[in-house]
Amino acid sequence: MDAITLNGAAGFRTFLCNRNAFAGKHGGRSSYFELNCKTFHDQKSSPRKLLHVNAWLRGSRPVVVSCMSDSSEIQRALIDGEDGNPSKITEVPEIHKDELLATQMALSDAQSQEEVIEKERDIMLEKLARAEAKQQEYHASIIHEKELAVAELEAAKDIFHKKVQESVEEKFHLESKLILAKQDAVQLAVQVEKLAEMAFQQATSHILEDAQMRVTAAETSAAEAAYQIEEQIRSATEGTISSIVDQSKSAIAKALAAAEAVGDHTKKVVTTYADDLNLIDEIASIKNQNIKLQKTVTDLESQLLVSNNEINKLKLELEQTRQQATAYELHTRDAEKELLEFQESSRKATHQMEEEVKTWLNKMKKDAAERKKAASKSFKVEVETIKAAIEAAKETAHSKDEAYLRRCAALQRSLKASESASKMWRQRAEIAEASLLNRVPLGEQDENATYVVNGGRIDLLMDDDSQKLKLLSDGPRREIPEWMARRISSVCPKFPPMKTKLSKDKFSKFKYLKLPKPEEVWSIANEKSKDVSTLVEQVIEKEVIEKKRKALERALHRKTIQWQRTLEETKLEPGTGTGREIVFQGFNWESWRRQWYLDLAPKAADLSRSGMTAIWFPPPTESVAPQGYMPSDLYNLNSAYGSEEELKYCIQEMRNQELLTLGDVVLNHRCAHKQSPNGVWNIYGGKLAWGPEAIVCDDPNFQGRGNPSSGDIFHAAPNIDHSQDFVRGDIKGWLNWLRNDIGFDGWRLDFVRGFSGEYVKEYIEASQPAFAIGEYWDSLAYEGGNLCYNQDAHRQRIINWINATGGTSSAFDVTTKGILHSALHNQYWRLIDPQGKPTGVMGWWPSRAVTFLENHDTGSTQGHWPFPRDKLMQGYAYILTHPGTPVVFYDHFYDFGIRDIITELIEARRRAGIHCRSPLKIFHANNDGYVAKIGETLVMKLGHLDWNPSKEVHLDGSWQKFVDKGSDYQVWLRQ
């Protein structure tokens, strides 16, 4: 309040300004005010003069100004003092006493009124201060309650969202439990089927009852789990929704009550101010405060509206959750229906399976009984035949021994007769010499005369060395290979020439003696050599008999073991052998520089002991290139590796050790023998004399007149047109010749990308190999110089070729080789695909995957795409423990110093019973390492991953470490 105006009885206008009022309005700072008094009329006196007063006030200082109409000067009185007493009074002359008394009276009245007003003002200021303090408190409390309400709403929202998320997570968890329960039920059903198969095999009925009990238990457990899941979902959703609604209602009610209390309080304050204060400025200020309070109330209302909207949103969300809950209920009902249907179908299936199992069991019993009878009969017959053969062999051996003794006696008699005959011939020779020399004594003959007896051969025939030469030249009475005969003939000296004409004999220095005929002498010599050869033949026959005995014993042993073999150990499908093959590539790129067949044959026993089952031979045909991959005459097997006889000898040595032999056959192309009139090499010679009609027409270099190629073109030689009937017929005949006459058991097919797999199927069905491998070499996928993770397209192309052959042939797993190049450098995650399987052909068709690390193209002196040498041990640990058919390279086994490691891994594979179809489960595949379980009894680890099967819960049994190579690889076998 700036100024207070009062009207006195004496006509004075008194203006009062107090410092406290200014302090309440202006924050305690001093200010000035200006009073303007204009002319006014009093009730008793005339109009007075205009009074203009400018007064500066400091502290609590009243100013009294009076103006009269009679005076000409302005009278001013200033009263200063801290206690309200006047310290200095300025009197103005020409003032009457009455007027002075009146002014004094008015002044005293004014002072008394001023005191009353000051007291009232102080009271009002105290009330105002209290009201302002209360207002600030109420405002602070409102703001605090608002913040609390907002915080509670936000907390309620967070709790609601959390509970909704928890309910959703619980829902998903329960759904996952339902799915897991279904999966468990399905797995139990699968287990039931497996148990049924076991029952089918073991011919027992209690396993079926146990399986039925497990199925019913699984069904009840699944139903109980579904019911519990539904109840948990309902209870969780209802509890969360009710708690959220209650919390939101309580928070809203608290906020509304606080707002109402604040409004009531503001109304009371306004009424008290209206009653107590009649001043305009105070009312205006209170109105302003009311406006502010109204703004706050409107803000609170807007917040309430927002909260109401949020509550509506929450209600909508609750309705949505209820709808979702109903949908989940429907889903659960559908799941229950599906479970019921599945139970019914499983019951029907089990019933059908029981009936089928019973029928099959009866059939199996009958078949087994018949087979047992037939097998026992055949086995008895075979045993009897073997016993008879053994007895016959014993009898023949006894007779041979007796004949040997008789021949020895005859030999002694013949030796005595020959000695007597030789004495007689010597006497006759001496007599003839004496008659020729006219009884000239010995020692006095002509030194220039040379006497020839039977062409000069009598001494050689009668000498002991001549018999040795006879044995070396003729040998024992059995067929000798040509290559051995050539060597023996190169060692044996030739006889001197024989003179037949008498004219030459008469005029030459040689003197002819009339001695017994050569036939007689040769009869004695032949008789002697025959006896000696008989001795040698007896020794050889004894060795043959011993070999036959051992072969009969092995056959008897195989027959007894054959009944104990499982179905997996027999031949499963064409093109895979027994499923337990381990192939050894028996050559490299430089093997042609030596007589390779003669070098490889002595290694047969060593390879068999090391665990190899099949030997991959180099291309056997005559070839333009010495390595054999540019064949010309297919029936000419005299190659840079050796002759045809040496090849047969090497194959026979492998067969003696029960090793399969795989021939490397090149069917895509063939080099011609002659040029056409156009100067193009497209005329073939040899047994298969083809012409340009046997060459594909789209080969740009050799002017073929056949049909277009069914594959890629090999540009170094003419590509054969396999669509021609005569070509296929000739190739079938050649393959059967290699199988039957030469002795190969299977094929390694070179460059099969050049022709369709349908022709391969026809060739395999015609030649019936025990094992076949196709070389489908294709490039992997790279991006920015790095190997791509996804190689499905690459392995799909290999599998497409295998499908084209009808599954009759395997193929090299080039995909696995390429992935191992990068995976073994701390990128083991490349060894598992998104489906949890291996990333090569092994992961999709393991029985047709032939895994390898190196061959004659990638290793040796060629070095195309060589395998990292420091990772060879890990690579062999991977392929020798995993399904598929592994291949061991010659250089690695004999030249790289890792032979013991390879044999140790082959032994682990043999002990675990791993074959080409063994089941595989990958546990870990990351940057640290790779862990997998193969079959039921082997676990292997690559890398420096800290892992042990004994610490794993899901691995039953006791595991013993079989191979430990530290951070390279480790292999465990279950005891």
Positions marked catalytic: 750, 775
Q: How far apart are CA 106 and CA 62, in angstroms?
A: 14
Q: Which amino acid is at 206?
A: H
Structural tokens at position 645: 């006889």
Structural tokens at position 736: 């059967």
Query: Which of 879, 961, 870, 956 has its CA nearest to residue 914?
Result: 879
Alpha-carbon torsion 80, 83, 86, 88, what sign?
Answer: negative
Kind and range of the H or E element at 453?
none
Structural tokens at position 763: 């060739």
Q: Which amino acid is at 494?
A: K
Q: Which amino acid is at 942?
A: L
Kind and range of the H or E element at 56?
none
Contact call for residues 145 and 225 (beta carbons, < 8 A): no
Q: How far apart are CA 710 and CA 504, in angstroms?
A: 75
Q: How far apart are CA 932 and CA 912, in angstroms?
A: 14
The SS3 assignment for 675 reads strand
Contact call for residues 562 and 594 (beta carbons, < 8 A): no
At 782, give phi and psi (nearest 5°).
-125, 155
Q: How far apart are CA 161 and CA 313, in angstroms?
A: 12
Helix then strand then coil, % of the chain, to nearest 5 = 55, 10, 30
Kind and range of the H or E element at 741?
none
Q: How far apart are CA 135 and CA 262, in angstroms?
A: 9
Query: Which of 477, 468, 471, 473 has its CA nearest to residue 490?
Result: 473
Q: Where are the beta strands (DSSP E) in 911-965?
A: 920-925, 929-934, 938-943, 959-964
For 701, which DSSP code?
A: T
Q: Which amino acid is at 168?
A: V
Structural tokens at position 524: 């004695």
Q: How far apart are CA 321 and CA 241, in angstroms?
A: 9
Structural tokens at position 383: 């045993």
CB atoms within 10 A of CB 469: 16
Q: How far apart are CA 173 and CA 177, in angstroms?
A: 6
At 810, give phi and psi (nearest 5°).
-85, 180
Q: How far apart are CA 519 and CA 369, in angstroms?
A: 71
Report CA 415 to chain centroid distance, whole Å. Answer: 80
Tokens 């002990």 identify what position? 911
Q: How far apart are CA 925 and CA 203, in angstroms?
A: 42
Q: How far apart are CA 88 and CA 95, in angstroms?
A: 18
DSSP symbols for 622-660: -BSSTTSSSB--TT---BTTB-HHHHHHHHHHHHHTT-E
Q: Where are the alpha helices (DSSP H) in 203-279?
A: 206-276
Q: Which amino acid is at 530?
A: K
Query: Which of 876, 851, 855, 874 has its CA nearest to residue 866?
Result: 855
Q: How far apart are CA 894 and CA 891, in angstroms?
A: 5
